[in-house]
Structure 1
Amino acid sequence: MITRIILSFFILSLVSTHSFAQQKRTRIGIAGLTHGHVGWILRAKDRADLEIVGIAEPNRELAKRLTEQHGISMDLVFDTMEGMLEKTKPEAVTAFGNIYDHLAVVEACAPRGIHVMVEKPLAVSLEHAQKMKALAEKHNIHLITNYETTWYPSTFKAYEILNSGEVGDLRKVVVRDGHRGPKKIGVSDEFLEWLTDPKLNGGGAIIDFGCYGANLVTWLENGKRPKSVTAVTQQLQPENNPKVDDEATIILNYDDSQAIIQASWNWPIGRKDMEIYGLKGVIYADNPTDVRILSADGYSGFEEQKLELEYQNTPFEDPFTLFLAVIHGELVLDDYALPSLENNMIVVEILSAAVESAKTGKTVYLK
């Protein structure tokens, strides 16, 4: 008997009561190794629920370094996506290359019925995103986007509190993400090369960290598109980021609320935090596990509640567990859930408008 269980914590819906542990190992391909987050999938090579069957990476030196580091045979490495897909026949592919290549990954996988998960953001442009969406729908594959903040307990506790009505109707969201800059924190040469390339990444900090805020705000706004987008960018480290911005502020204007996204490669301390303001109080998601709720009292008074959360280890402790559940039909994402295609199409629309606004010095009104 099939049952339907609503999990408010993940804003997702399970459609099967079967244990994930009972699944056969899903054949996974990896598209690219240049993304700094690729270690996440490489470390998963011995999991009981997935098997890495092929890797597409033309940089043999990089491939040799990473496969040796993670105890993976170079026999799994192919110079091309086509070669890897034809030889290894994966059921799903995870993309860990530059953002511009996300479209090529979907173009290769979708006609073969291979599901795809990309690292954030979905695409470098709205044109790319629309092509990817059309391919996914035509060939009936799942196309989802992974963000680190999707796995923060504080993210979902903040959403839960907002929707409980405890702080009143939403009026403002402020999201801050970033660090000192990719070169300053010491990312690999292969990662730095495309992360600071306006074609391969779509921009600098405005894309790399602006996408987090656009993703979270779209979710908090239940899939609403902003009326307008205004953005200002700066290049405060021209010696390190000569081709792209490294400082960005994006303002999203909605009918009855506003969002401010602060994306920076100039924070002295790495951060991913969020403030949610309602009519009666404010929610601070200070880091992955700490949440504060301030309930207004009079003009400037307030009562503060502090929550210290723990990571939940089941059933979706990481992107791969969720990805497998989605492709095996055990999980149906809500339309504007954080990893969903619907949410991330709006994210790319926001980012594209932000890039245009920053270049022209004008507010961009969405059609």
Structure 2
Amino acid sequence: MKLAYTVLLLFASLVGAHGQDKRPLSIALAGLSHDHVNLIMNHYKKNEINLVGIAEPNKELVNKFKKSMGIPDSLFYDDLKKLLQNKKPEVVMAFNAISEHIDVVRICAPLKIDVMVEKPLATTVKDAEEIAALSKKYKTMVLTNYETTWYGTNQEVYKRVQKGEIGDIVKMVAHDGHEGPKEIGCSRFFLDWLTDPVKNGAGALNDFGCYGANLFTGLMNNQMPVSVYAVTHQIKPAVYPKVDDDATIIVEYPHATGIIEASWNWPYSIKDWEVFGKTGYLQAVNSKELRTKDNRSAYKINEVAAPQPPYQSYLAYVTAVLRKEITPTDDLSSLANNIIVVKILNAAKESARTGKKVLLK
């Protein structure tokens, strides 16, 4: 089965063939309100990146990071335009509300500055398509980061499916979420927009539904689904009054079905997925454990080796891409994949609102 994601594996062997640029990647940050920014801050503390500037209008948030990370005043700007008038990073990484990703690309693309955003790409199909148009017009990359892209188990699933180990895919089931963003202690800056139906686009449906949509789209070789049907709930309306906190999404393909179970009501944190083929079964239980079964033997659980560089993290990946050490095509971070993800999520919202299946063209 031909898979777009296999590019990720094929090019791994080429890293180093042209020599590696060892300089830390030059990065500017657009926003600090997404709690995933703490991951890039860990790289900053270890001197693994060259942080040239941060665009953040919220003074309280700015002071928080000045104090906690020891970031000098000279790196902070009120807005991204001012920052980019003074600095020329290799990439801008967006850690702001999902609805604001489009604004970041509108500023960066004409300046020929590549962008990486946190998942999902956008809150609306209109914004996603404008992002794609700007990327094409100005020949800049817009990549989307998912934690699950860098799981060794997920990469192993794609490799085994490509080899035909479980036959043709007939069903995929993704479970993603946790006890709830407030329950696990997300910052109030993050919660302010994560629980907003405009800024986040939805609740758990967008926040965790995007993971399954991203993985399914990759496994289906960026094929547009036939239809989407979804049901959402507010299990904790007193905690999340404006958005859903539980979503089930059925994604129909010509010869397979995908089921996404996204929730802020799991009894524990979970990011796993199951893939059923005609002759076997694969489950990425977590980032390291792969559960397998065929039609002749019992279940087996094996530990999967860590991914090979530069596919072990988003920082290693985007550094290799920008330094032209690898050439990505339609992988899990690509616009080709993530525009389809946004279309699946928007169809799911429409289906949940109307109670009807939504056909995709």
Q: TM-score, normalised by structure 1?
A: 0.93
Give yes or no for contact 2:5–2:219 (8 Å, CA) kept in 1: no
SS where residue 44 of structure 1 aligns? helix
* Distance apart, 1:147 and its partner CA: 0.2
> Equivalents in 1 of 2:113, 2:7: separation in Å?
28
Give yes or no for contact 2:151–2:307 (8 Å, CA) kept in 1: no
Q: What's the counterpart of residue 11 of structure 1?
A: 9
Correspondences of 1:109-128 after superposition (within 5 Å): 109-128=108-127
SS where residue 26 of structure 2 aligns? strand
Q: What's the counterpart of residue 331 of structure 1?
A: 326
Task: Give the letter aligned to residue 252 of structure 1.
Answer: V
* Distance apart, 1:330 and its partner CA: 1.9
Correspondences of 1:267-286 after superposition (within 5 Å): 267-286=266-285
> Equivalents in 2 of 1:28, 1:174: separation in Å?
36
* Distance apart, 1:136 and its partner CA: 0.8
Give yes or no for contact 1:43–1:70 (8 Å, CA) kept in 2: no
> Equivalents in 1 of 2:312, 2:276: separation in Å?
28
Task: Give the letter aligned to residue 310 of structure 1.
Answer: A
> Equivalents in 2 of 1:273, 1:50: separation in Å?
30
Q: What's the counterpart of residue 3 of structure 1?
A: none
Give yes or no for contact 1:231–1:354 (8 Å, CA) kept in 2: yes
> Equivalents in 2 of 1:11, 1:259: separation in Å?
24
Q: What's the counterpart of residue 357 of structure 2?
A: 363
> Equivalents in 1 of 2:70, 2:186: separation in Å?
21
> Equivalents in 1 of 2:238, 2:17: separation in Å?
55
Task: Give the letter aligned to residue 144 of structure 1.
Answer: L
Query: Which structure 2 segments of 5+ residues have no match?
Result: none
| Residues 1:245 and 2:253 are matched in the alignment | no
SS where residue 24 of structure 1 aligns? coil
**What's the % identity of the aligned pairs?**
45
Task: Give the letter aligned to residue 122 of structure 2.
Answer: A
- Aligned residue pairs: how many? 356
> Equivalents in 2 of 1:343, 1:351: separation in Å?
13
Task: Give the letter aligned to residue 332 of structure 1.
Answer: T
SS where residue 183 of structure 1 aligns? coil
Q: What's the counterpart of residue 70 of structure 1?
A: 69
* Distance apart, 1:314 and its partner CA: 2.5
Structure 1 runs of 4+ aligned residues shifted over 4 Å read 6-9, 46-49
> Equivalents in 2 of 1:142, 1:270: separation in Å?
32
Correspondences of 1:1-367 after superposition (within 5 Å): 8=6, 10-11=8-9, 13=11, 14=14, 17-20=17-20, 22-45=21-44, 50-297=49-296, 302-312=297-307, 314-335=309-330, 337-367=331-361
Deviations, residues 292-333 of structure 1 (Å, cap 9, x unaligned): 111113xxxx43332112323623321112112212222211
SS where residue 184 of structure 1 aligns? coil
* Distance apart, 1:16 and its partner CA: 6.4
> Equivalents in 1 of 2:360, 2:312: separation in Å?
36
Give yes or no for contact 1:95–1:119 (8 Å, CA) kept in 2: yes
Query: Which structure 1 segments of 5+ residues have no match?
Result: 1-5
* Distance apart, 1:222 and its partner CA: 1.0
SS where residue 8 of structure 2 aligns? coil
Deviations, residues 1-40 of structure 1 (Å, cap 9, x unaligned): xxxxx995833534762333x3434321000000010011
Q: TM-score, normalised by structure 2?
A: 0.94
> Equivalents in 2 of 1:171, 1:7: separation in Å?
18
